[in-house]
Amino acid sequence: MDDNLRREVILDNYSNPENKGRVEDKDYIYVNTNNSSCIDNIDLFLDVKDNIIKDIKFDGEACAISTASTSIMTKELIGKTLEEAKKFIENFYNMIEERPYDEDLLNEALAFSEIYKQANRTTCATLPYKGILNAIKKYEEEH
């Protein structure tokens, strides 16, 4: 992805985020995720059935990077098995933390491939992943 495309993908997902909303359904796992600089604050709702992520919804107040990252994450993870999802997440962290990663797996999330250059924003990009890992853990503990 070139610079312009990355910017476009992030802004698109920020202005028109996918899977935004709150869920009351008890089948969903709820987690809140926020970063220590106390600004971004996102609620995540995860629905898993038969080891497959059926749905993710999110809500909250967050910056462009966090919001876009969450929107992209939900799109990418819905439909994946938990194992596939974990692999995706690991790959994403590898990219953000400047380790070797598999480009072909990450699709739109590649929009954050240069974010490591802005140290104070990497926590924004990884915020939803931190949250969804917690939600998956919660699910696995309960099942």
Partner 1 sequence: MDFKQDFPMLKKDLIYFDNGATTFKPYSVIKAMDDYYENYSANAHRGDYNISLKVDMAYEGVRDKVKDFINAKKREEIIFTSGATESLNMIARGFFEKYLEAGDEVLITNSEHASNILPWFRLADTNKIKINYINLDDSLHVTVKNVLNSITPNTKVIALAGITNVVGDVRPIKEITKLAHERNIFVVLDGAQTVPHSKTDVQDLDIDFMAFSGHKMCGPTGVGVLYGKEELLEKLDPINYGGGMNESFDDETKVYLKELPQRLEAGTPNIAGVIGLGAAIDYLNKVGMDNIYLKEIELKRYLIEKLSKIKHIDIINPEAESGVLAFNVDGIFSQDVAVFLDKYNICVRAGNHCAKILKKDIGVKNTVRVSLYFYNTKEEIDSLVELLSDKDKILKEMI
DSSP 103: H
Burial class of residue 15 in the structure, from the number of CB atoms within 10 Å of its CB (0-12 exposed, 13-18 middle, 19+ buried): exposed
Binding-site string for partner 1 from residue 52 to residue 91, where x marks contact by CB under 8 A and - marks none: ---------xxxxx-x------------------------
Out of 46, 92, 121, 133, point to the residue binding partner 1 (CB under 8 A): 121
Return the axis-axis angle of helices 82-96 and 119-142, rounded to nearest 10°: 160
* Nearest residue (CB) to partner 1, 63 versus 105: 63
8-state DSSP, 19? S
Indicate the helix (H) or strand (E) that contains 59. Answer: strand 52-61
Q: Does 39 bind partner 1 (CB under 8 A)?
A: yes
Smallest distance from the beta carbon of 81 to partner 1, in angstroms?
A: 32
Q: Which positions lie near partner 1, rule CB under 8 A?
A: 7, 10-11, 37-41, 61-65, 67, 118, 120-121, 124
